[in-house]
Chains A and B, each alone.
Chain A
Amino acid sequence: NAGVTQTPKFQVLKTGQSMTLQCAQDMNHNSMYWYRQDPGMGLRLIYYSASEGTTDKGEVPNGYNVSRLNKREFSLRLESAAPSQTSVYFCASTEEGRGKTQYFGPGTRLLVL
């Protein structure tokens, strides 16, 4: 089992460029999450998907879109990147959307110039 995988590991963008962060899990989990982590801020929830076919906004959704492609995959898209989106992005999954243990991917470091 690979657990939760994320691609790419690192990305540099120019302001205004777009990109999609990919996340996949092989644990047959229903719920998946996208967080961003900034220095001194802890993790903040961007979007989550309680089950295949549903997505909901988290604490900081502005500037992002998500797609729950199937049960395994949950992608995060930046349509027009801004320097304020420079951060480390983590994907996580849990077996059901009821506060169970979350399993995290290794993260994607994004730098927007």
Chain B
Amino acid sequence: SQQGEEDPQALSIQEGENATMNCSYKTSINNLQWYRQNSGRGLVHLILIRSNEREKHSGRLRVTLDTSKKSSSLLITASRAADTASYFCATVIERSNYKLTFGKGTLLTVNP
């Protein structure tokens, strides 16, 4: 079964609004990563947060990690139509030879 599960499965917002996506996982992790996938394209890495970090920022992106709840959130502020994409969380578990395990993704649609 998938280690990471994103919530919601789909999210539709207006340009300028903030978008929040959540990811829950089951076992202890080494780090958690967020990726973006535009339709018909490969995945692009957005941000990595380590298990001993609680929050990280990159431009309009803010990621939080709560290891006690085994959850992470990705916040995109002041969204743009170009942010329309699928967003995936991926976890790295220490016992898994450091392979990534992906969730099923959140489809974000930003309406102009």
Q: Using a CB–CB distance below 8 Å, which chain A residues touch chain B?
A: 4, 33, 35, 40-45, 48, 50, 56, 58, 90, 92, 97-99, 101-107
Contact = CB atoms under 8 A, between A and B. Distances in A.
Contacts, number: 53
B42 A99 contact: no
Contact of A99 (B40, B98, B104): B98
Interface of B: 2, 30-31, 33, 40-45, 48, 88, 90, 92, 97-105
A99 B92 contact: yes
Contacts of B30: 99
Given A40-B104, A42-B2, A42-B88, A90 B99 contact: no
A42 B105 contact: yes
A106 B42 contact: yes
Contacts of A58: 99
Given A40-B104, A42-B102, A99-B31, A105 B42 contact: yes
Nearest to A99: B92
Given A42-B105, A56-B97, A58-B99, A101 B48 contact: yes
A40 B40 CA distance: 14
A101 B35 CA distance: 10
A104 B2 contact: no
A103 B45 CA distance: 7
Contacts of A44: 102
A42 B86 CA distance: 10
A31 to B, nearest CB: 9
Nearest to B4: A42
